[in-house]
Chain A
Amino acid sequence: MVESPLTRIALRVATALTLAFIYLPLLVIALYAFNDSRTQAWPIHGLTLRWFSKALDNQGARDALLTSLKAGLGATLLALLLGSLAAFAVQRYRFFGRETVSFLVILPIALPGIVTGMALNATFRTVFEPFGLGLGLFTVIVGHATFCIVVVYNNVVARLRRLSRSIEEASMDLGADTWQTFRYVTLPSIRTALFAGALLAFALSFDEIIVTTFTAGAQQTLPIWIFTNLSRPNQLPIVNVVAVLVVLLSAIPVYVAQRLTTEAAVAAPGAAAAGARQ
């Protein structure tokens, strides 16, 4: 469909407006990061840079950021593993209970966070504590992975549905076993789906607060740190600074992931052909 020039212009305008809508509150946050006063009133009267130095000095914020990164990485890896396994099982085989897998996988994210949080908390206490494993970073990772599985699962299932099995069969006909086929043919084809799922899973885990409260014990992830500091008026400007810095820093991994997905999409058929020739 060749869209009329008018439609194109209208869509461009709509896109710009939508982006403006998305970024307006973020700009407000950025503005308040320079706010001279501790309380957030409008309009802003004075600008200052002192909150930036205070935020960078703040040990609590740095520790919380590190904890969040570790938890996010762990949860993403776990979700990648479990989500892909489930996706392959559902997409490639017919078995009893197949339809319910999609349900089960989406449940942790579909139910209210507090329900998931309390349920997981009870599990950790009854199952892990007898083994001496209390609430901590591990339980946070497991808790986050539980609702991150679905984003990886959905992406991989969608991609697998588009993949023709014939190329895998061709690989096996050429003498590759299951592992080689997976490594050289299937994996490159689903790589972009994995990246997309991993990115979304990491973002979900990084910003999660309700379930984390019930699974974190004494650990402070960044959202928990923000939550506790939002209710302390002295800390509000520092929280704004932290939020701004996190968004700016996130541009790097998001951009890298974007470049990788576009490159991988181009390179995949080449890799598949190369792998099948082994």
Chain B
Amino acid sequence: MSANEVTATPPRPPLGRRLATFLYRRPRLQVGLLLAGPMGWLVIAYLGSLAVLFLAAFWRLDPFTAQVVHQLSFDNFRTLWESHVYRRIATRTVGIAAAVTITDAILAFPIAYYMARIATPRVRGLLLVAILMPLWSSYLVKVYAWRTMLQEGGLVNWALSPLGLKGPGFGVVATWLVFSYLWLPFMILPVYAGLERIPSSLIEASSDLGAKAGRTFRGVVLPLAFPAVVAGSIFTFSLTLGDYITPQLVSNTQFIGNVVYDNVGVANNLPFAAAFALVPVAVMIGYLLGARRLGAFDSL
């Protein structure tokens, strides 16, 4: 190698590399570019339109002209607070959402545990496929199938009659049942992921310290898997809170979604619908805050 080649300036690096170096020195710009797309859409377009929608909650409907009056007023909120039926509907919706979440957590745990810790990789793969496939069948068709099963001469009654029992028929119990069914895969997957993450070494250490299987489960596995359960519960809770199709098909009861849907359809009572829609929004924001505190966001 001659002296000239050693001291000659190196050729300019290609554009890609120059850009990479440029960005490497400017982390703020990196973040900005990364976030520009998603945040731009979510904040400006989505949040912005939500803002306008919920601003409408503070407007009211003029009963004579049936037009929306763009004046600040708390009429809608007063109606919601004073009339007990809306409180009842909100309580019912939140209550069922909680019941569905607990049910799904209990139902999901055995199968998630089996998949995560006991099944062979091949079986695990097959089970994952088995759980993901029903997500592809239409939500509407599934609810209609449940409707058929729960009706008077349906499958559930037919199966229970030899035992002398009767099915729940249509009603609040039916909505709990159908919601638990619909959102179960959304709970199984995060719980499975959470259980899979628990290092075997921790469990071995626990049994080395003398804990029996049950104690290890209660003391080690459950606390470590809890954030994952909370993560899954975000979906079960929120999907139940906003749904109006299932309550309509398998019960006569009204959920928050039904009231919002009924009022929004009326071309001129968007203010009231928006006001009532703030309830699930507030509940979800509270739930998300709680979930984050419990570490669920790390386990989604």
Contact = CB atoms under 8 A, between A and B. Distances in A.
B153 interface: yes
Which 4 pairs of residues, A with B, have the shortest CB-CB distance? A112-B242, A14-B110, A250-B136, A154-B300
Interface bin, chain B: 35 or more
Interface string B95-130: 000000000000110110111011001000101111
Contacts of B17: 177
Contacts of A19: 111, 127, 130
Nearest to A251: B133
B155 A42 contact: yes
A185 to B, nearest CB: 14
B66 interface: no
Interface in B19-43: 20-21, 23-24, 27-28, 30-31, 34-35, 37-39, 41-43
Nearest to B132: A254
A3 B138 CA distance: 38
Contact of B134 (A2, A4, A23, A154): A23
A273 B176 CA distance: 51
B238 interface: yes
A157 B139 contact: no
Interface in B159-200: 181, 184-185, 189, 193
Nearest to B289: A103
24 contacts: A2-B213, A11-B113, A12-B114, A25-B149, A26-B137, A41-B153, A42-B153, A42-B154, A109-B238, A111-B50, A111-B242, A111-B277, A112-B243, A114-B242, A122-B52, A122-B53, A142-B41, A146-B41, A161-B298, A178-B23, A223-B138, A243-B137, A250-B136, A251-B129
A3 B118 contact: yes
Nearest to A258: B125
A174 interface: no
Interface stretch (A48-56, A86-94, A130-138): A86-94
A272 interface: no
Dominant secondary structure at the B interface: helix
Interface stretch (B1-9, B67-75, B76-84, B280-288): B280-288
B290 interface: no
Interface string B197-221: 0000001101100000100110001
B134 A82 contact: no
B141 A11 contact: no
Interface of A: 1-4, 7-8, 10-12, 14-15, 18-19, 21-23, 25-26, 28-29, 32, 40-43, 81-83, 85-86, 88-89, 93, 95, 99, 101-116, 118-120, 122-123, 127, 142, 146, 149, 154-155, 157-158, 161, 177-179, 199-200, 203, 206-207, 209-210, 222-223, 226-227, 230, 239-240, 243-244, 246-247, 250-251, 254-255, 258-259, 262
B131 interface: yes
Contacts of B115: 15
A101 B53 contact: no
Given A15-B114, A26-B137, A32 B145 contact: yes
B222 interface: no
A122 B49 contact: yes
Nearest to A41: B153
Given A103-B288, A115-B50, A146-B46, 10 more contacts: A41-B153, A108-B42, A120-B46, A122-B52, A146-B41, A177-B16, A203-B135, A207-B139, A209-B139, A246-B138
B294 interface: no
A127 B31 CA distance: 26
Contacts of A254: 129, 132-133, 136
A235 to B, nearest CB: 12
A259 B125 contact: yes
Given A178-B23, A246-B138, A111 B284 contact: yes
A81 B234 CA distance: 23
B38 A82 contact: yes
B241 interface: yes
Nearest to A102: B297
A149 B43 CA distance: 13
A206 B133 CA distance: 12
Given A28-B148, A114-B257, A177 B20 contact: yes
B292 interface: yes
A247 B31 contact: no
A119 B50 contact: yes
Given A43-B158, A178-B23, A29 B139 contact: no
Nearest to A145: B41
